[in-house]
Structure formats: C-alpha cells, structure tokens
Amino acid sequence: MDSNVFQTSKMKTLFQLAACTFVILSLIHLVSSEEHVCETSAYPPDEKNLVPTYVVNLDLSPLQRWAPLVIEKRHMLHSLIDDVTDLMESLAGKKIFSTIMKNLDSLAATLPYPYYEEIIGIAGYSNLPPSVITMYNVFYEVFTLCTSIVAQDADGNIFHGRNLDTGLFLGWDKKNKTWKVAELLHPLTVNLQFEKEGKIIFESTSFVGYVGILTAVQKGSFSLSLNKRFSWNGGFMGLLEWILFEDHSQSWVSFLTREVMQEAKDYEDAKQILSKTRLLAPVYFILGGTKPGEGCIITRDRDHFELMNLWTTKNGSGSWYLVQTNYDHWKQAPFFDDRRTPANQCMVDGGAKNASVGLIYNVLSTKPVLNKETIYTTLMSAQSGEFSSWLRYCPDPCLPW
C-alpha cells in the first residue's frame, strides 16, 4: 500500500475513533445529568490558582520584547511542543507532518509586522525552530473551545467573563484522567500587561510564546474575548488561500484582536473594526463596554457579520446578559456539546439583580461549562479596569465537556 494512502487511512481511523469516544461520553452525560446544578459558591476563587502577571514592553524591538518571559518558561514550552509534535506525527505520519512543518517556515515569513519578528525572537530565546512557534501560534484556529458571558446589572455596569477550553482530544492521560495538552498549558498561562512609554495600553490572558490576543481589556474602553466558530469556509480555507494564492488581504483573527486592543479608541470603534475587517477564519467576537447597553456578540464568517447586542435578544428573560459558546446563537446547540443551556439556565437563576463578576464566575464554574479542558477563567470590567484570571481544574466526576 502507498505510504500516503496508509497515513491518510490511519488519520481517518483515529479521527473516527475520537468521534465515537466523543459521542459515547456525551450520551453518558445526557443520561446521567438531565438537569444542571448551578454552582453558587465557587466565587471568590482560591488565590493559589491566580494567574501570574508579566509585562510586555512594546517600546522594545519585536525580537526582544518576549525574551524575559520566554527564557523563564522555555522548559515548559518545550514540554508542550514535544507533546503536541508527537501527537501530530502520530495522526498525520512523520512524512506528512514534516511537509507541513516545512511549509510553516515559508508561512512564517509572510506574517505581517511585528508578528513574524516576534515569532523569530521567541524561537531564538526558546531554542525552538520558527516553524514550531508558528504552529503554536496558529493552534487556536484548530483546537480551541470557549464560553463567554457579558452581563449588565441594575445600575448599568457591564461585566465580562470567559472560560478558555482547549486540548480537544489532544492526548488523554489515563492515570490522571486529564487531557495532556490542557495540563501542559496550565503552567504556560500568564496575564500580560502590554506597556508603551511606561503606560499600560491593555491587559491580556495568554500563553507563553503566543503573540495573538484571545482575552483582553482596555481600561476605560472595552473588554474582548474571542471564541472559535465552526464553518465550512473555515480557517483551513483561509490558510490555503494565504499560502497558495498569496491572498494577504485577509487578517489573522488573533492578530486583528491585538491590533484592536492597541489601536481602537473605544467600544464602538472596536465593534466596527471587528465587524467589517476581512478575516482568515470565522469567529465569535464578544465585547463589553463601559456604558449601559454596551455588550455584544459579533458572529463572523470571513466576509460578513451578524450582531446581537445586550437588550435586543428575543428572549426577554435573558436580555440583560449574553452567552456565547462555539455555536451560532440562533441555532440549537448540539446535544454532544451543550454548554449554552446550563449557562443560560444559571444566569437566569442568578437573576439580573445579582449581575456581577461573582455570578459570572459561578456560572463558568458550573459543569459542563467547566470541564476537563478548561484552562482558565478570566473576569473583566472595562469600566473599573478589573482584570483577573485563575487556572481551572475540574474535579471528578467531570467529563471532557
């Protein structure tokens, strides 16, 4: 049998097995848990799980600005990269994987300033090839799942929270009953203060070696979280167009969000940019502002958008809050991954009179909103500038979802 055919068959079989496991576990979950028990006492979280904070000095050259953090954490970054590399090789086969990595070298060189330069700097200080740092930085487009919530209290204050879940079927650790990639990302999770001329421009929760933005707040302006959206015209299509047709008129999602955090003047400016910029991949942008009614979900495909604002939802009982997972809000969530229903239920049970970061944290701590793939929870308020993140661990019984 031709080796390429064999490897393709091998990949197909592995993905089929993963899908079967996924469905079986989900069905078990449905049978064993008809009603969701809302968490009410998770907040305040234990300070021992508080994510550490580091400074990124934007006045330094892109080659140097990540050096202190990467040098401190490079051994942990190596562990993650080694594990992901082994997994990807087992799925794709060494020959195909090697071809992919060679293409990533050429892809990296096409990334816009300052991201290519930052990736080269990170590669140098971590003693890793630029290709694997590039792979790490496009990782989001394939494997990330999330839950984001924006809520408004009776006084018009806006609160924003999110869970970031990742490690989708990436190495099950039978002994510890955890997803390996999720566990390896825990020690690489950091809060970053991006500074320029001695002032904090914005704050973000991220992973060491990752230059894009998934979760952030600009004090006095807006908060942002980014959730993956599944679509036939997805990230792979945009990636192929970028590489094969040199279509560089589209924006990398997490690079665009970083530009927005650095350059957008306010909530409305951020909303306009995130709604109308052509993207490489579909996505959900979730924004919170500083004024009553400033909260929205921007559902994006690569060229168009749908907008849902606070106080404009069809369900009047939920008009003071918005919940976004990884599925279009106008469609029913899939039975095998319904984090939306318990999140909505627990927000309604909590009530608008109790809207706060505490309520959001409790909802994000309710299973299966909290699950074994949850890396961190972040709570934000653009109005007050509050920005705190905690590492999350889901005690058994806790399914992957």
pLDDT surpassing 50 at residue 19:
no
Place of tokens 């400074």: 55
- The pLDDT value recorded for residue 244 is 66
- 394 tagged catalytic: no
In 219-356, which ranges are continuous DSSP H helix? Answer: 235-244, 253-263, 267-276, 340-350
- The pLDDT value recorded for residue 167 is 59
Q: What is the mean pLDDT of residues 88-115?
A: 82
- The pLDDT value recorded for residue 399 is 78
Q: What is the mean pLDDT of residues 369-397?
A: 96
DSSP symbol at 332: P
* Cβ count within 10 A of residue 318: 16
Report the CATH architecture of 39-51+144-191+212-391.
4-Layer Sandwich (3.60)
Residue type at 216? Answer: A
Q: What is the mean pLDDT of residues 134-139?
A: 83
pLDDT-based confidence at 299, cuts 50/70/90? Answer: very high
Among the listed residues 20, 38, 146, 394, the single catalytic one is 146
pLDDT surpassing 60 at residue 338:
yes
pLDDT-based confidence at 33, cuts 50/70/90? Answer: very low
pLDDT surpassing 50 at residue 207:
yes
The span from the CA of 16 to the CA of 206, in Å, is 31
Q: Is 25 exposed, middle or buried (0-12, 13-18, 19+ CB in 10 A)?
A: middle
Token pair recorded at residue 100 = 């992919």
* Domain boundaries defined on the chain: 39-51+144-191+212-391
pLDDT surpassing 50 at residue 54:
yes
- The pLDDT value recorded for residue 391 is 98
- The pLDDT value recorded for residue 314 is 55
pLDDT digits 0-9 by tens, 145-159: 899 999 999 999 999
Token pair recorded at residue 201 = 């421009």
Q: Work out the mean pLDDT of the chain and round it to a whole number.
A: 87
- The pLDDT value recorded for residue 9 is 46
Q: What is the mean pLDDT of residues 87-95?
A: 76
> Which of 137-141, 172-176, 368-372, 395-399 is the most confident on average?
368-372
pLDDT-based confidence at 250, cuts 50/70/90? Answer: confident
pLDDT surpassing 80 at residue 297:
yes
Q: Is 250 left (phi over 0), alpha (psi -120 to 50) or beta?
A: beta
* Cβ count within 10 A of residue 92: 18
pLDDT surpassing 50 at residue 173:
yes
Instruction: Name the nearest CA neighbour of 363 among 162, 62, 100.
Output: 162
The span from the CA of 31 to the CA of 112, in Å, is 49
Lowest mean pLDDT among 34-43, 230-239, 341-350: 230-239
pLDDT surpassing 80 at residue 248:
no
* Cβ count within 10 A of residue 2: 7
Lowest mean pLDDT among 136-140, 189-193, 208-212: 136-140
